[in-house]
Amino acid sequence: ILQMMKFAWDNYKQYALGKNELRPLTKNGHIGNMFGGLRGATVVDALDTLYIMELEEEFQEAKKWVENSFDLNVNGEASLFEVNIRYIGGLLATYYLTGEEVFKSKALELGEKLLPAFNTPTGIPLSLFSPCSGMSWSWGWASAGSSILAEFGTLHLEFLHLSELSGNPVFAEKASTSQLAVMNIRKVLNRIEKPQGLYPNFLSPVTGNWVQHHVSIGGLGDSFYEYLIKSWLMSDKKDTEAKKMYDDALEAIEKHLVKKSAGGLTYIAEWRGGVLEHKMGHLACFSGGMIALGAEHAGEERKQHYVDLAAEITNTCHESYARSDTKLGPEAFRFDAGTEAMATRLSERYYILRPEVVESYMYMWRLTHDPKYREWGWEVVKALEKHCRVEAGFSGIRDVYSTPPLHDNMQQSFFLAETLKYLYLLFCEDDVLSLDDWVFNTEAHPLPINH
């Protein structure tokens, strides 16, 4: 796994250093439109993985780029969520691991640039911002200018650390002059009525009301739930409001969305205004790990129940891999018309090096030490080597059911931040980034628990 990381990094460095991602077939860099004018997403996402794997020379190369070439004075529409989880998360984690000031100062400087996005009537931030001009916008595709649950709900961990490191409460609490920051987001969410206790994915930053009744634990909703339980853990279990929100949300999810297929596979469906769609996205597969993490703290009578639920969901996600020809899982899989845990639409057959399934293996391993999770992780390592490794890096594939697969020519930065880190940790001792001392942000960047 360490060699895979070195290979992914070396090729990025050779062909794409300073661009956001590597295109491993054409051997060039990709910039894309997720990070506005910011560059080097792969560098910042890879820093802590290189450090944890003790790839010292490679870590120094990445650090040098941050010191000399990482420019924050740029413009362009950047995603608040993506910049927070990848850049702020990556810089904070590397600062906490190494104690080196450069990572802290870059994180704080960038954090300041996110704040204007919170200047809305409710304090719910808009989705896009420009680092220099201070302007912000909603996604064009989000109905009625809404903000997305998984985006404004995935800031808490990083913002609390920004407040602590800067000594400036503005990131965490309501500032005296305007409504800012993450505690206010909670207040809005607690105030408004939730259909059957569920959180829809679209919220108006102007009125503070839900815009559409689509609920999902996969894309658009996912990491909001993750950050509730992790906020509680990161506060050393003092943030009981977050724990209650997590417990209540999980109860509603179990009641309304968790289903069992005819073949006995447990899955989490999506909900559209009361109608269930029997589909699980690859993104939703993080939930096995999340429920495992929460299970330990659920109280004796609920603990076993949640351990079982986490194991069942992780098993279903493993099935989505095991039932494909490449042994890698599709972007989404369904449970309808006689199908179980397989994609039914051409457009859902791709795999872009996503981490969520191995993330759940890692948490399940730490919780149970059942060797099957390491075996399943090793199946993924072999499949990545066989189907995704190309001459100059690792690439996503267009169809997990066809061999040899067609490659998408993209080495995503989260492959280095998350997929390879979680695989590595799956085979480490439990005291390497112990879950008693660290929480992982949603991009797998470790942040210390506030003991």
Residues 320-359 vs ligand DMJ: string with x where CB under 6 A? ----------------------------------xx----
Name which of 220 and 364 has its Cβ closer to ligand DMJ. Answer: 220
**Contact pick of 351, 373, 414, 440 for ligand DMJ (by CB under 6 A):** 414
Q: Is 156 in the site for ligand DMJ (CB under 6 A)?
A: no
Which of 331, 340, 408, 443 is an active site residue?
331
Asked if 290 contacts 300 with a C-beta cutoff of 8 angstroms, the reply is no
Cα–Cα distance measured from residue 248 to residue 242, given in angstroms and rounded to the nearest whole number: 10
Asked if 373 contacts 426 with a C-beta cutoff of 8 angstroms, the reply is yes
Q: Is 442 in the site for ligand DMJ (CB under 6 A)?
A: yes
- Cα–Cα–Cα angle for 75, 79, 81, rounded to 5 degrees: 135
- Cα–Cα–Cα angle for 292, 332, 359, rounded to 5 degrees: 30
Q: Is 223 in the site for ligand DMJ (CB under 6 A)?
A: yes
Which of 356, 408, 418, 443 is an active site residue?
356
Whether 331 is catalytic is: yes
Cα–Cα distance measured from residue 89 to residue 68, given in angstroms and rounded to the nearest whole number: 20
Residue 316, annotated as binding a ligand: no
Q: Is 287 in the site for ligand DMJ (CB under 6 A)?
A: no
Name which of 222 and 312 has its Cβ closer to ligand DMJ. Answer: 222
**Contact pick of 107, 269, 283, 433 for ligand DMJ (by CB under 6 A):** 283
Name which of 106 and 354 has its Cβ closer to ligand DMJ. Answer: 354
Q: Is 443 in the site for ligand DMJ (CB under 6 A)?
A: yes
Which of 45, 77, 158, 222 is an active site residue?
222
Count, residues near ligand DMJ per rule CB under 6 A: 8
Whether 77 is catalytic is: no
Residues at the contact surface with ligand DMJ, assessed by CB under 6 A: 223, 283, 354-355, 414, 418, 442-443
Active site residues: 82, 222, 331, 356
Residues annotated within the binding site are 442
